[in-house]
Structure 1
Amino acid sequence: MSTLRYKLIYATVNRATTLIDTSIHNNIHKQFEFEKQTVLADKILTNDEKTYAIRWLTKDYDRDKIHFNSGTKRICENCNQECLATLYCEYCKCQMESLMPNMVVEWIPYSNLKNINYLTKGGFSEIYTADWIYGWYNEWDSEENQLKRVERPGIQNIVANVVLKKLENVESANQSWFEEAKSHLTINNKWASVVRCYEKAIHRDLHSGNILYSQFNNSWCVSDLGFCGPADKSSTSIYGNLPYIAPEVI
C-alpha cells in the first residue's frame, strides 16, 4: 500500500459531507451513497486513499444504520444473528453495550497518560489535559477475535489528546453511583441524542442562542451547559451572560 495522505483524505471526506443537499439526500442511505460517489470521483486521491476514505465513511454509516434501525441486514458469521453493521456485528459480546469499538469503556492505566496539565476548574470538577499513549480501540478483528487499537502506517505509537475530569466528593461515591454512571454511558453509546433527565438541575442561561438546530441530522439540542447547576444552589449567585450592570448594584 502506498503512503496515505491523511490530511487530504480528511479534507475530501469533509467536502463530500458538506456538499450533501438534505432536500435531495433525505435519508442516511442516500447521504452515504452520495459521499461514496463523491470520493470515488475525486481526481486527486489514489485508489488506496479512496479505499481508506470509504472505509471511514462506512464506519459512520454503520453507526447511523443502527441508530435509526434502517438498512439491509446480514447474517453475522460469528453469532448468526441478523445485524445492520457492515464492518462489525452490533450483537456480538464485544458490542453488547457499545455502538462501535471506539466507544468501548475501558480502564486506562495512569502510566499510559503523559503530559498531564491542569486546565481549569468547573462548577463540580477540575479539568486536566493529557496525552493518551496507544489511543483508543478502532475496530474488531474477526480473525484474531480481539479489539484492535487505532493504527497509522509508519507510526509506532498513536498519541491521543484527551481531557480528564476530577470530580468533587468522589471519595463518598458508592457502588450505586458507579452503576448509575455505567447506565448513562450505555444509553449515551446506544442513542446519544436521547433526552436526558437532570433531576433538580437548572440551565440558568437558556435563551434562543443556546437552542440549536441541525439541518443535517434534523434534530434540536440545548447547548452551553457551563452554568448549569443544582436548583438548591444559592439564589444570590449570578449565572449566565450578563448585560451591563452598574458596579454598585453588583
Structure 2
Amino acid sequence: MQIKYLASENFKKYGKCKECQQANTGLKWCNSCNSKRFQEEFHKWTSGDKEIDEFIQRIQLMANNHEEVIEWIPFDGLKNITYLTEGGFSSVYKAIWPVGYIDSWNYKEKNWKRESQWEYVCLKILKSLDVFKDTDKRKFLQEIKNQLKFRGKGAIAVYGLTKNPIENEYFIVMKYATYGDLRKMLDNNFEKLSWIQKIRILYYISNGLANIHEAGLMHCDIHPGNIVNVSLTSSYISDFGLCKSLSLVSRNYKKRIYGYGVVPYMATETLSRGEYTRKSDIYSFGMIMLEVFTSYPPYYNIPQDYVNRIMRIYKVLGLRPKIKYKIPQLLKDLMDKCWDIDPFNRPTAKELEVQLEKYVNGDNSELEEQIKEADEVNKNFKPYNPHSNIRYLYSLWGGKVGKGVWPNFWKFLLLILL
C-alpha cells in the first residue's frame, strides 16, 4: 500500500516516464530507467579504486532525482585548474568543467542532458586524508554521502569525484561559490548589506541546518569557513567531514567529544565537558549571527595563538563576545537565545528558520523601527578589517604574538573581559 501511495504521489508531482510509463521519482527523472542507463555505462569509467567505484555506482543506482547523483569526472576533463585557498583540513581549487552536471535524460538525443557547461566548479582535497587507508577512505566517502543528502536542501551541491593521476590525490567536485566563504563575503561586501539581506543570509543557513537536524545528524563544525555564498545572500553549508549521527552519539554517550570545530564557535558544553548535541550547532549559529550582523568575528580581540587557552575560561564563566555595534533588539534577543549557557534554552534550527523567514517576508513594524534606530547609531561604525585588527592586537601585547609576551597576558585578559 505504501509503495502504491508513493507512486501515486510521485505521479501527481512529477508525471510519468516517457519510456516505461511509470510515475517519475523526481522532476524529469525515472529511477527505474535511469539506473539502467547508469549501469550500462559502468564499464566506461573507473576511479582506479574498486571501493570508490562501487560507492559511486550505488549512489547512481539509488538516485531518485538529479540532485542525488554523483559521477566520476576525468581529471583531464577539467580546465584551468587554479589554487584558491587553504583550510584547516583541506586545500581548495577551482576549475572549469566543460561537460556540466547531469540534469535528466534527453530522449531525442539518447544521452544525458547536462547543465552548467563551461562553468567553474570547486575542487576540494582533504590534506590529512590517505584514501589508500581503509579508515580514511570511509571518512572521505561518508563526508560525500552526508553532503549529498542535502544538495538542494541548504548544502552546497556535490557533483562527483576526480583524481589527479600525477599526485594520486582525490578531489570532491562541488558547485563553485562565486563569493567564497562567508568570512570572505563579509570582508568584501559588509557595507553593501541591508539588515534584510543579513537576515536572509541567516535564513538560508538556518534552513540548511534544520534539514541536517531533521535527518538525525549534527554538523559539528559550523563556522564561516564552512558556509559558502553563491550570491550575496544565498548561503550554503559545506564541509561535512565532522558530521555525526545523533543515534551514534547517543549510543556512545559516555565517550566525550573533544576537538570538534573552530574554538570561538564551539559551545560551552563542548569546550568544558566534551558534549555535543544539536543545540551545540545552534550555539555556533549564534556566533555566525553576530558575525553577519556586525562583520566582527567572535572574540576577534584574542590573538590566535592564545584562543584555545583563553576560550575555555572565557566561555565557562558565561562571558560572551563584545558587541560594538547596535543590533535591532528583536534580532539580538534571538541571537542571545542561541548563546544560552543551558543548551535546553536554545531554540531549534527549525524555530530559527521559521522566525527568520517571518522577518524576511513579513511586515514587522517593530523590527523596522529598530532597524532605523540601529542604522542611526551605527553611522560612524568601522567594519572589521582583518589586517588592521591584527596590528592592533600586536600593539596590545607589546610585540609579535607568541614571542616572549607572557608578562602582558593578564593585562590583555583584563582588556578583553572588560
Instruction: Give the TM-score normalised by the residue count of structure 2.
Output: 0.30
Question: Which is richer in strand?
Answer: 1
Instruction: Give the TM-score normalised by the residue count of structure 1.
Output: 0.47
Question: Which is richer in helix?
Answer: 2
Please say which structure displays the higher CA radius of gyration: 2
